[in-house]
Amino acid sequence: MAGAHPETADVRASSGATEAGELVELALGYVYSAALHSAARFGLADHLVDGPRTAEELAPAVGAHAPHLYRLLRFLATKGVFREDEAGRFHLTPLAEPLRTDAERSLRDYLLVRGEAPFWESAGRLHDAVRTGTTAFETLYGVSFYDHVAADRDFGRAFNSSMAAFSDALSDDVAEACDFSRAGSVVDVGGGRGGLLRSVLRRNPHLTGVLFDRENVVAGHVLDTPELTGRWKAQSGDFFVSVPSGADVYLLKQVLASWPDEECLRILRSCARAMPAHGRLLVVNAMIPAGNEPHPGKTVDMLMMTVLNGRGRTRAEYEALLTAAGFEVVGFHEPSPHASVVEAVVARAAA
């Protein structure tokens, strides 16, 4: 760098080193995923509920090699997942709380499943998905992800639990943000185990509801609680063909992102056929904003590209899908970056 001022050269070198370090950190992001998956498998957060412990104290309790366990905990502590004190004991942190099995918004099941082979192997083939425009999972396994979930009972059970764990963390936010005061009945289409429907019914004691999903999914529902007795039923079926008819409100939470446009239109048209003239549809998904800032919808979009044949969408893209399916958009709420809500009714011309 002939002729450059020495201080300027130092600044440029320092800047380049910082950028290189950040890029290396990004390249090793999968190591953090593996560490979180390991922490969930060992149940480390559960073993720290009663107070901080050293790796040597934790190792026999969780069935781990103490020196390696220490290195895992030390690594996670660099991101605020656990905290090491001067005595070498590790503490729970707010970021580690959702790793607890009994946490109010536990994500342990979610992290457990996201560390399994179908997700890791599919992510490793992202370049193939981008090159060919296909879904990495289907290329690797020869079937769609949901067909694999249905065929593999153990993995399917774990996946459904993991989705419930993720979804339940958002359900109360969505139930609080949306107005159900003028409704008497609601159908949760593709509602999984019923976490959202449970939240909606709890907040609105005048409502009755139907949980609608595949038979193997609704079999694990979470609606059988004393406060909801007599106010719900679980019904299995194929939302591409039809959904229960006649309800005042239809919910589609985290459903449309899992499918390409053509299948989304089939689902939406099934809902339109089932809805009475006064019915409302609430579409809940992370919606990708413009700009370069991080957003959950952009991350989910990568997951869709590798595992599911779906895609993340902007608000305008969701509204375009609704219009194409014969709906009119009448409202929008954003209780969480993970869960924006587009409210729609059947357009008069389509009714």
Quick: pLDDT tens for 278-292.
999 999 999 999 999
| Res 243: pLDDT | 98
In sign, the C-alpha dihedral spanning 79, 80, 81, 83 is positive
Average pLDDT over residues 52-66: 98
Which pLDDT value is given to residue 157?
87
The band of 85, judged by pLDDT with boundaries at 50, 70 and 90, is very high
Q: pLDDT-derived band of residue 216, with 50, 70 and 90 as boundaries? A: confident
Inter-residue contact 307 to 135 (CB < 8 Å) = yes
Residues 102-126: tens digit of each pLDDT = 998 889 999 999 999 999 999 999 9
* C-alpha closest to that of 43 among 66, 59, 54, 67: 59
| pLDDT level of residue 160 (50, 70, 90 thresholds) | confident
Phi, psi of 327 (to 5 degrees): -105, 160
Contact assessment for residue 93 and residue 81, using Cβ atoms and an 8 Å cutoff: yes
- Min mean pLDDT across 158-172, 198-212, 237-251 is at 158-172
Single pTM value for the model: 0.82
pLDDT of 65 above 90: yes
Q: Are 286 and 340 in contact (CB under 8 A)?
A: yes
The average pLDDT across 46-55 equals 97
């409202």: which residue's tokens?
Answer: 331
Q: Is the pLDDT of residue 192 over 80?
A: yes
- Region 220-244 average pLDDT: 95
- For the cut 70, the answer to whether the pLDDT of residue 303 exceeds it is yes
What pLDDT is attached to residue 175?
Answer: 92
What integer best gives the mean pLDDT of the chain?
91
Identity of the residue numbered 90? F
Taking the C-alpha atoms of residue 227 and residue 214, their distance in angstroms, rounded to an integer, is 25
Angle at 336 between CA 168 and CA 35, to 5 degrees: 60
Note the pLDDT of residue 1: 44
How far, in Å, CA of 193 to CA of 166, rounded?
12
Q: Mean pLDDT throughout 293-309?
A: 91
- Environment class of residue 146 by beta-carbon count within 10 Å: exposed (0-12), middle (13-18) or buried (19+)? middle
Q: Is pLDDT above 70 for 310?
A: yes
pLDDT at 16: 65
Q: What is the pLDDT of residue 5?
A: 52
Higher pLDDT, 351 or 323: 323
* Separation CA 199–CA 306 (nearest Å): 31
Given this model, what pLDDT does residue 67 score? Answer: 98
Tokens linked to 128 = 């193939």
